[in-house]
Structure 1
Amino acid sequence: RQDAESLPANDNNRATLADLSFLDVINDEAKVAEIARRAERLGHVTLIVMAIGLTALPLLCLMLR
């Protein structure tokens, strides 16, 4: 019988499992809170820009007629 290390390369059958979680890199609660605050601010800015665009575009079309 062959060991897992001596078998041909196969990503589905590895001897050691790779830890691909990004949460281990960001383990500080302050960093997570800052990312959440930035995401919320970006969401608010996006919502405001979309609202302005949805009201300004019809007005622009009416003005150009």
Structure 2
Amino acid sequence: MTYISAKPTRQTVETLPANDNLPAAPLDLSFLDVINDEAEIADIARRAERLGHATLVAMAIGLAAVPLLYLMLA
């Protein structure tokens, strides 16, 4: 039975096929390696949600204030 993993195992120089086109040290540039831990992700999501709420409130105020300002100046 073949083991299937969501994150493939890293290849070392010893496990790479013999190919002259490959560098001596493989470049393993995966975005999975730069993902932060869960606490930092939760903090980013919390800040994004607060920013979304502030944007929504500012848009609601703007949509109510602009017509009133137009009517007062007309």
- TM-score, scaled to structure 1: 0.68
Q: Aligned partner of 1:35: which letter?
A: I
Distance 1:4 1:29 in 2: 38
Distance 1:5 1:20 in 2: 17
Overall identity of the aligned pairs, in %: 65
Higher relative contact order (CA 8 A, sep 6+): 2
CA drift at 1:46: 0.3
Task: Give the gaps of 5 or more residues in structure 2.
Answer: 1-18
**Selected match of 2:59 from 43, 50, 54:** 50
- TM-score, scaled to structure 2: 0.61
How many equivalent residue pairs? 55
Over aligned residues, Cα RMSD in angstroms?
A: 2.4
